[in-house]
Structure 1
Amino acid sequence: MSTVLDLVREDLRAFAGYKSARSDRLEGAVWLNANESPWSNAGNPDGSARRYPDPQPQRLRERLSALYGCDPGQLLVGRGSDEAIDLLVRALCRPGNDAILITSPTFGMYAVNARLHGCRVVDVPLVDESAGWRCDFDAVAVAAREQGARIVFLCSPGNPTGTLLPLEQVVSLAETLEGRALVAVDEAYLEYADGPSAVARIGTQPNIAVLRTLSKAHALAGERIGSVIADPALIDVLRRCQAPYPLPASCVALAERALSSEAQAATAAAVGTVTIERDRLARALASVPGVRCVYPSDANFLLARFDDPQAVFDRLLAAGTVVRDLRAAPMLGDALRISLGTPEQNAAVLDVLTAQVTA
């Protein structure tokens, strides 16, 4: 019977990694084991930055585990979702031999990490339909088997599509690819969606991994706190492949405060406002001449097609509003992505587009 460890590179299954001075949980009054300065920096008089941080801060991991509904042993925290993607590619894919699978248009870092690691990128594009973007799960399964993909990256809700993938089809794909590939579900925007996480299915389908982040709904993009949630055996391998001290202590302290009950209540209220604004802006944009299509979204942004996307981009930029130009992405030659701002900022976007039409 196969296990998730069968998907790990054979040369890394027993890899010990680097054992730092903070790897062992030792107790002492005088710490002389990490070659740290015994004096504080003049710019940091309280000495809080003098010591190396905990590689995997226990209290933060416990709070994140409670937030995401998993056991602490299933979670590894690191530098945003980007590090989690990199760790998965490094641990599972042999350079020059293995492949990952993506479904474009999607988050660009999956392909970037694979190419930096010398791995092939297999693309099974999403299907652009009137009701939104659809993943052809059957085609993904066939391509993954035929091309030897070790990881299938699924973004749900998708970036930049905003599409929430049906969880049962994700799980069915993982069942089909069991023993062949890991299905990594990037749930960076799930807080904005009305749908379940794949985390609860890891226990029965261990070739599922989930990526989560505090960068979006929790408004901590500058702190770079991300998590990968997976079978404990895979988490142990990823931990041994991770750099010794991934998270600055100051970032950890802020993240712990941001996960207090009061802060989470404020986050939930902000998410509620964003979803209301998302639906309102989508309806309003769809009625503006020159807007070809506004896709349904389960994220905190809208993807739209325009008759003249350059003119729209330039007009918004001249008004001081920066949106994401996606015309270089596959299948999106006329598209812009607009993040949801405050109600006032969203109204300003509409004012600019309406003025463009009437001018």
Structure 2
Amino acid sequence: MFNLESIVRPNVLKMKPYSSARDDFQGIANIFLDANENSLGSLAGENYNRYPDPHQKKLKKLISEIKGVKPEQVFLGNGSDEAIDLLLRAFCQPGKDALLSLPPTYGMYEVSANLNEVRIDTVKLTADFQIPVREVLQTVRPETKLIFVCSPNNPTGNSIEAEAIETLLKEFNGLVVLDEAYIDFADTPSWTTRLDEFPNLVVLQTFSKAWGMAGLRLGMAFASKEIIALLDKIKPPYNINEATQELALQALDKTEVLKDMVEEITQERELLMMSLPGLNAVELVYPSDANFILVKVTDAAAVYKHLLSKGIVVRNRSGLPGCEECIRISVGTLEENQELLKALAEF
């Protein structure tokens, strides 16, 4: 039986969160002299002289309605990276506890672990980039508090089999953190639909990919209200600025535009995946459920340099296990993709 308190850092359980001026005030007022703000106004425009809502209530309410979860199951961070960092701070004691990562995968899990002095245990994905579940469970130690699973996975692009994730959730007495940054481009449903079924599930999503708002740095975490309360307890008081909250609220009213963009990107992805195998430089195109494609080429360093000479930047992922001589190509516009194919054909 999963027991949340048994894996939380003792000092986090005991600590009192910072109480901001906006936390202390309840009700309606016309004059605010409580937060040491500049009452004359702001050089950046209206309303920016006041601190933003520290709990992002309007934004969480709208997100919860779109995602089909409760507002208290939503955490908003300065990108998903903030949620990753706070999960380690909340559950892993420095120098004692561990997380488990499944390379090749997103590099910030390791960076956050190193920053927080958390041990990283790794189990490589299989040749087809799936989870070797039994090996993972055998690697888990009493100090293992978190398992990070990226699905669709970055940089490989494939979705992780649901059965494997479900087995981890049922048999691991820690948090399974499922990073769904690219879920909007996949046919599989989000695991947010199963939050109430698994109390040890945390789902990460972002406004950076399908929503096209990478410059705003707004990430989401979905989990039980108890886990979200812990993240809210230790986050900086005003971690989501007013401009980001306003722009995100505007974007959430345009879900039809989101659907159109996702459809266009996935169509362009399929066209690229059909065209790339016919090029001499390309040896293998891996399946993708994301807005990028992992491609094995004859010489990744040379191909990267050649494309750069044409003004095209891709990502050389050869240094990651299982990705030898691979480049990662983000799906661009129709015109950008045609330029890419033309440049690759000239290699």
Say whether the fold is shared (TM-score over 0.5).
yes
Equivalent pairs counted in the alignment come to 346
SS at match of 1:89: helix
Partner of 2:236 in structure 1?
A: 243
Partner of 1:88 in structure 2?
A: 87
> Relative to structure 1, is the Cα distance of residues 175 and 25 closer, same or farther in structure 2, using a 3 angstrom cutoff?
farther
Q: Does the 8 Å CA contact 2:104/2:124 hold for their aligned counterparts? A: yes
Q: CA deviation at 1:68?
A: 2.0
Q: Deviations over 1:254-302 (max 9, x none)?
A: 0000000xx2111111111111111111121112112121110000000
* Bigger mean CA deviation after superposition, 90-99 or 46-55: 46-55
Q: CA deviation at 1:4?
A: 2.2
Q: Distance in 2 between matches of 1:2 and 1:160?
A: 31
SS at match of 1:185: strand
Pick from 106, 131, 138 the counterpart of residue 134 of structure 2.
Answer: 138
Q: CA deviation at 1:128?
A: 1.7
Q: Deviations over 1:41-92 (max 9, x none)?
A: 4x33x44211111112111101111222211111111111000100101000
Q: Which runs of 5+ in 1 are unaligned?
A: none
Partner of 1:211 in structure 2?
A: 204
Partner of 1:328 in structure 2?
A: 319
Partner of 1:282 in structure 2?
A: 273
Pick from 165, 169, 175 the counterpart of residue 170 of structure 1.
Answer: 165
Q: Distance in 2 between matches of 1:189 and 1:176?
A: 26
Query: Which AA in structure 2 matches 1:323?
Result: V
Query: Which AA in structure 2 matches 1:351?
Result: K
Q: Distance in 2 between matches of 1:90 and 1:224?
A: 20
Q: CA deviation at 1:25?
A: 4.9
Q: Does 1:155 align with 2:155?
A: no
SS at match of 2:38: coil
Q: Distance in 2 between matches of 1:6 and 1:67?
A: 32
Q: Does the 8 Å CA contact 1:171/1:201 hold for their aligned counterparts? A: no
Q: Distance in 2 between matches of 1:108 and 1:331?
A: 15
Q: CA deviation at 1:2?
A: 4.0
The RMSD of aligned alpha carbons is 1.4
> Relative to structure 1, is the Cα distance of residues 147 and 52 closer, same or farther in structure 2, using a 3 angstrom cutoff?
same
Q: Distance in 1 between matches of 2:71 and 2:326?
A: 40
Query: Which AA in structure 1 matches 2:34?
Result: N
Tell me the TM-score normalized by structure 1. 0.93
Query: Which AA in structure 2 matches 1:150?
Result: K
Q: Distance in 2 between matches of 1:147 and 1:122?
A: 12
Q: Which runs of 5+ in 2 are unaligned?
A: none
Q: Does the 8 Å CA contact 1:5/1:234 hold for their aligned counterparts? A: no
Q: Does the 8 Å CA contact 1:157/1:189 hold for their aligned counterparts? A: yes
Q: Distance in 2 between matches of 1:70 and 1:22?
A: 25
Q: Distance in 2 between matches of 1:191 and 1:221?
A: 15
Q: CA deviation at 1:207?
A: 0.3
Q: Distance in 1 between matches of 2:258 and 2:108?
A: 26
